[in-house]
Amino acid sequence: MKEGIHPDYKEVKVSCACGETFVTRSTKKEIHLDICSKCHPFFTGKQKIVDAEGRVEKFKKKYAKK
């Protein structure tokens, strides 16, 4: 590898909204996640609706039987 052209690659702390933290390597100083492998529905087997800006309610309201 050439010297001086690659970014600084160091260990960083990754923190999730659920409280889980782990260490990995990255060029960023810190990484913050909304969903990690400890709380993601695919890995936990439990359904969890992540509602961003009321999309679920907007969908239910739009397609509700009147």
* Nearest alpha carbon to residue 34 among 49, 23, 50: 50
Q: Are 5 and 22 in contact (CB under 8 A)?
A: no
pLDDT score of 39: 80
pTM of the model: 0.54
The amino acid that residue 18 corresponds to is C
Tell me: the pLDDT tens digits for 25-54?
999 999 998 888 788 777 677 766 666 677
In contact, 56 and 64? CB cutoff 8 Å: no
User: What are the structural domains of the chain?
Assistant: 10-63 (4.10.80.400)
